[in-house]
Chains A and B, each alone.
Chain A
Amino acid sequence: MSLLEVVNLSKRFGGVVAVDSCSLSVAEGSITGLIGPNGSGKTTVFNLVTGFLPRDGGDIRFKSGSIAGLGPDRIYGLGIGRTFQLARIFPRLTALENMLVPVRRAGLRALMSQGQWGHEKERAMEMLEFMDISQVAGTVGGALSYGQRKLLELAAVMMARPELVLLDEPAGGVNPALLERIAGHIRQLNGQGVTFLLVEHNMSFVMNLCHEVVVMQQGRVIAKGSPRVVRENPAVLDAYLGA
């Protein structure tokens, strides 16, 4: 069953058609890769799905309800988390505070209350330990290394227990050792039932990690299937190597 379904999604920026009636689906429990050359519309799809951009046409369905037209905060609340290219964290908040911002609290009373941090802090510390960065819990985000920021961003997104997480270049700019760690964390979280959709240029990372790969070119989906099938698809080879 598909958790996320994108149907004939379109987005234009002036005369440029960034996403051109794109359709794809993400199966529940899968790690799905979204690949394609630069400018093929992958990040735009992310921004459309997470509500950062209004769509020009088509529909986006999550757990078979339409989420098109909702704002990013509502979409996060429904269970779709995302990370950004080049790891975005809150630089003047500590790592622990970064973890607490995404915690969901309903109602005015809970928002204004002072004394309910106990179990939330506990869970945040567990998550930081899981990512192996609990030693920097009291350090402000701006003082963390790039790798620590990447791990912190992923850890923080998990705080509201999203069912689907969109990762924008999780392997971008990280060293091979950290790459292995990040892949391990994604696999582990996936084992706990979290579904992932990730944009990535590192092909070996994608081919090793993903169950399913979707290939985009010029705003359209040109191929999809298992990593092995996609790798041998002539259209994909064309898109990447040029004909």
Chain B
Amino acid sequence: MNRTGAVKAIALVGLAVVALLLPLIAPDPATTNIAVFTAMYVGLATAWNIMGGYTGYISLGHAAFFGLGAYSLALLLAHLNIAPGYGPFLLVPVAGLLAALLAVGIGWIALRTRAATFVIVTIAFMFMCQLLAENLVKVTGGGGGLGLPYPRDWSGDFYNTPYYYAMLLLAVLALGVSWWIRRSKFGLGLLAIRDDEDKALAVGVPTRAFKLTAFVISAALVGMIGAVYAYYVTFIYPQFVFDPLIGISMVLMVFLGGLGTLSGPVVGALLLEPAQLQFAYRFGASKLYLVLYSAVFLVVILLMPRGIVPSARDLIARRRRPRAAGPTGTVTDTRAASITRPLASP
């Protein structure tokens, strides 16, 4: 293992230890509350990246799956009369499955379009879901929202802990799926679609099936995270779960960290979500954090338009090059070199 490899491994292990022990290190609810939302966005951004980053299809409507997951769990708990406690967590995969089913329907239609049209179609579907949640009053309670039972015997410092581990588990699951896909033939097909979809079709990649699969996997993960969110906040309203800001936040985190990279969404979420929450606590419930968001993105777009992870990789590569440059002087585009993966080494 070379030096960067070792640094990477140490950083990963460190991060994992901190993530696992966090409720012990900092048990106060104010901190664990931030940790719940941060783990949530690590998962959301990573899940979104499977479609948006690998396949290049930018969906701004993933909040549709978040909301559907949230409502699914709320309705399941109400209709099945499940007692609060650990039981509701077991129904989270069902919410994910329902989100996946919705994604098959939406994807079937939306994936007939490409580029900007796809972006707009996904936004439209998200608002359709929001409208449905508002208007199917008999099912969803409409604008009045829907309450979920909450465990009364969990208290004080412990209350947030189960939610934190549930979110962490889903984030790790999303990362595992993302890592797996990236190294598979399926993942290579997705990257080929991102680069040139017609060319991919010409060399035998079943592009429609691949795109739909990536979309559904991404949606299922987002749906499960939405379900845990609903159980955590105990009361959901259409405009706060089918929330365009949730859909956009996960996208912005991916762009900040690095689109199409494995670690980029994690970096983006770890930086942005705690900062945003701190900002919201300091300046009250104002929308000032949106100003912060735009400031962050202006800086990113101006200084490192491809996000933190690819820019950092370039920097490391550039610093190492003077020593490592071989006599052959192979042309390697630094702009694109960040995309090379282990697969590339012959």
A and B associate: yes
Interface residues of A (CB under 8 A from B): 50, 52, 71-73, 76-77, 81-82, 84, 88-94, 96-97, 100-105, 110-114, 117, 121, 125, 134-144, 156-157, 159-160
- Chain B nearest CB from A100 CB (Å) reads 6
Contacts of A105 in B (CB 8 A): 185
| Nearest B residue (CB) for A120 | B185
A88/B196 in contact, CB under 8 A? yes
Given A90-B192, A135-B328, are A73 and B205 neighbors across the interface (CB < 8 Å)? yes
Q: Is the CB of B183 within 8 A of A114?
A: yes
Known: A105-B185, A112-B184, A125-B346. A140 touches B340 (CB 8 A): yes
Expressed in whole angstroms, the Cα–Cα distance for A63 and B194 within the complex equals 33
Check if B195 sits within 8 Å of A91, measured CB to CB. yes
Tell me, in angstroms, the Cα distance from A93 to B56 when the chains sit together.
14
Identify which of residues 313-346 in chain B touch chain A, using a CB-to-CB cut-off of 8 Å: 328, 330-333, 335-337, 339-340, 343-346
Tell me how far the C-beta of B306 lies from the nearest C-beta in chain A, rounded to whole angstroms. 11
In the assembled complex, 21 residue pairs joining A and B whose CB atoms fall closer than 8 Å, in A order, are: A71-B206, A81-B203, A88-B199, A89-B196, A91-B195, A91-B336, A93-B195, A94-B343, A96-B344, A97-B188, A97-B344, A101-B189, A111-B189, A114-B180, A114-B183, A114-B184, A138-B340, A138-B344, A142-B335, A143-B331, A160-B203
| A139 CA / B332 CA spacing, docked (Å) | 6
Q: How large is the interface on B (under 10, 10 to 19, 20 to 34, 35 or more residues)?
A: 35 or more
A-contact 0/1 string along B31-53, CB 8 Å cutoff: 00000000000000000000000
Query: A156: which B residues are within 8 A, CB to CB?
Result: 203
A117-B343, A138-B346 given as contacts; is B201 within 8 A of A72 (CB)?
Answer: yes
Is B302 interfacial (CB 8 A cutoff)? no
Determine whether B87 belongs to the interface, using a CB cutoff of 8 Å to chain A.
no
Most buried by B among A93, A136, A141: A93
The answer to whether B201 touches A73 (Cβ under 8 A) is yes
Residues of A within 8 A of B201 (CB): 52, 71-73
Given contacts A113-B184, A135-B330, contact A92 B336 (CB under 8 A): yes
Q: Check A140 against B336 for contact (C-beta < 8 Å).
A: yes
B207 adjacent to chain A (CB < 8 Å):
yes
- Contact assessment for B344 and A90 in the assembled complex, using a CB-CB cutoff below 8 Å: no
| Contact pattern, B 104-148, Cβ under 8 Å of A = 1, otherwise 0 | 000000000000000000000000000000000000000000000
Do B194 and A92 touch (CB < 8 A)?
Answer: yes
Cβ-defined contact, A110 with B185, below 8 A: yes
A97 to B346, CA, bound (A): 10
Contact A92 B185 (CB under 8 A): no
Q: How far is the CA of A159 from the CA of B192 in the complex (A)?
A: 15
From 190 to 215 in chain B, residues with beta carbon under 8 angstroms from any chain A beta carbon are 191-192, 194-196, 198-207
Shortest Cβ gap from B111 to chain A (Å): 14
* A77 and B344 within 8 A (CB): no
- For B191, the chain A residues whose CB sits under 8 A away are 90, 92-93, 97
> Within 8 Å of chain A (Cβ to Cβ): is B235?
no
Q: How far is the CA of A135 from the CA of B346 in the complex (A)?
A: 10
User: In whole angstroms, what is the CA distance A139 to B183 when docked?
Assistant: 18
Closest-CB distance, B328 to chain A (whole angstroms): 7
Query: A93-B192, A113-B185 are known contacts. Are A136 and B203 too (CB-CB below 8 A)?
Result: no
Flag if B188 contacts A100 (CB, 8 Å): yes
| A102 / chain B contacts, CB cutoff of 8 Å | 203-204
Q: With the chains together, A41 CA to B343 CA distance in Å?
A: 40
A101 near B205 with CB under 8 A, answer: yes
CA–CA, A52 and B204, complex, Å = 12
CA distance A88 to B203 in the complex (A): 11
Query: What is the CA–CA distance of A82 and B192 in the complex, to the nearest angstrom?
Result: 16
Complex CA distance for A134 and B330, rounded to whole angstroms: 12
Bound complex: CA A102 to CA B199 (Å): 10
- Among candidates A72, A77, A93, A114, residue contacting B339 with C-beta atoms closer than 8 Å: A93
Asked if B186 is at the interface (CB within 8 A of a chain A CB), the reply is yes
Tell me if A76 and B202 are in contact (CB < 8 A).
yes
Judging by beta carbons under 8 Å apart, are B195 and A92 in contact?
yes
The interface residues of chain B lying within 8 Å CB-to-CB of A72 are 198, 201-202
Question: Which residue from chain B places its CB closest to the CB of A108 in the assembled complex?
Answer: B186
Identify the closest chain A residue to B194 (Cβ): A92
Tell me, rounded to whole Å, the shortest Cβ–Cβ distance linking B142 to chain A: 41
In whole angstroms, how far apart are the Cα atoms of A160 and B185 in the complex? 14
User: Which chain B residue shows the least CB distance to A88?
Assistant: B199
Contacts beyond the supplied A135-B328, A139-B333, A143-B332: 8 A-B pairs with Cβ under 8 Å: A52-B198, A52-B201, A72-B198, A84-B199, A96-B346, A101-B192, A142-B335, A159-B203
A121, B195: Cα distance in complex, Å: 21
Q: How far is the CB of B13 from chain A (nearest CB, A)?
A: 22
Q: Lowest 6 CB-CB distances: which A-B pairs, in order?
A: A143-B333, A102-B203, A76-B204, A90-B195, A140-B336, A94-B344
CB–CB A142/B336 < 8 A: yes
A101 to B: closest C-beta gap in Å: 5
How far apart are the CA atoms of A81 and B201 in the complex, in Å?
11
Bound CA–CA A72/B203 (angstroms): 8
B218: min CB distance to chain A, Å: 16
CA distance A97 to B312 in the complex (A): 23
Report chain B residues within 8 Å CB of A77: 204
